Amino acid sequence: MAKHDWQLDEVKELFNLPFADLIYQAQTAHRQNFDPNTVQLSTLLSIKTGGCPEDCKYCPQSIHYDTGLNPDPLMPLDDVLAAARNAKAGGATRFCMGAAWRSPTYSQVNQVADLISAVKDEGLETCVTLGMLDEVKTQTLAEAGLEYYNHNLDTSPDYYGDIITTRTYQDRLDTLRHVRDAGIKVCCGGIVGMGESRKDRAGLLAQLANLPEHPESVPINMLVRVEGTPASEWEGISQIEFIRTVAVARIMMPSSFVRLSAGRTEMTLEGQALCFLAGANSIFCGDKLLTTPNPEKNEDMQLFEELGITPSVA
């Protein structure tokens, strides 16, 4: 039985383990639940870019910060389909579509439902991240056959108010509940390297692992510092601390996919290799995340080759 009653002190104890002991424990949990030499590939597409009314201090798409980003309206179906076919040809098994909305309108949800059906027809799993949802909107997405909804808690409840003021932690938990109730799988994680303390990283992971069910997918993002956002000034964390965070996530949510998400362009190949050793078993593949760069596909494939990792087809 997976554990859902993590106390902050227990999580902090994991973070404080000697590195070798932590990695050993994470690798053991990983091997009990997954093939350790397989990594799942997801592809990300921004289907609606910029102009977002929220004030998330890390985000280049918020209207509150001047990041020089050109906003784009919702992408037409044909363009989305072309990107999905390309992703499939490149070996991706899941196609994730992100929109810079606070919360989509009913009409926008219907439009995204059409995109989901079309992408599924190409033989890809679908994931979308659209902001806050109520029961009706989650139901519409479930009926379109959506497999995963990404909605991050981002950080600990204590640090949250320093990062976002335009929606509450509870709003996020409510959306996650609606997604779960509609039978859609949950993709939920956060961002580290935002000037938070280790206690906050532990607090984020405790929130995730203490949800009624563990998210099927847990993206751990290293903050991408974008000029113009308040976050560009913040102090980051070392790669070792990032790897520790991945390892603790793996131990606490042993059967979830832990995704090494944003921030890989700032990591060394050795740092990424240690993330896989610590239990990360999913990445975003393709040269762009939503608005910022990601490693080139061939660089990722070369790293996989060197590590004997097979991209998964499941």
Report d(CA 289, CA 165) in Å as an integer. 24
> Tokens 């409840």 appear where?
157
Binding mask 221-250 for ligand SAM (x = CB under 6 A): x-xx-x------------------------
Per-residue string for binding with ligand DTB, 72-101, x by CB under 6 A?
--------------------------x---
User: Is 285 annotated as catalytic?
Assistant: no
Q: Which stretch binds ligand DTB (CB under 6 A): 116-124, 169-177, 270-278, 290-298?
A: 290-298
Query: Residue 75, interface with ligand SAM (CB under 6 A)?
Result: no
100 binds ligand SAM (CB under 6 A): yes
| Count of residues interacting with ligand SF4 (CB under 6 A) | 9
Per-residue binding string, ligand DTB, 234-273, x by CB under 6 A, is: ---------------------------xx-----------
What the block records as the tokens of 200 is 């906050």
Active site residue 56: yes
User: Which one, 29 or 141, has the nearer CB to ligand SAM?
Assistant: 141
Helix (H, G, I), strand (E, B) or coil at 269: helix
Mask of contacts with ligand SF4, 38-67, x by CB under 6 A? Answer: --------------x-x-x--x-xx-----
The footprint of ligand SAM (CB under 6 A) covers 52, 58-59, 61, 98, 100-101, 129, 131, 151-152, 154, 191, 221, 223-224, 226, 262, 290
Residues acting as catalytic residues: 52, 56, 59, 96, 127, 187, 259
The footprint of ligand DTB (CB under 6 A) covers 44, 60, 98, 129, 150, 152, 189, 219, 221, 224, 261-262, 289-292
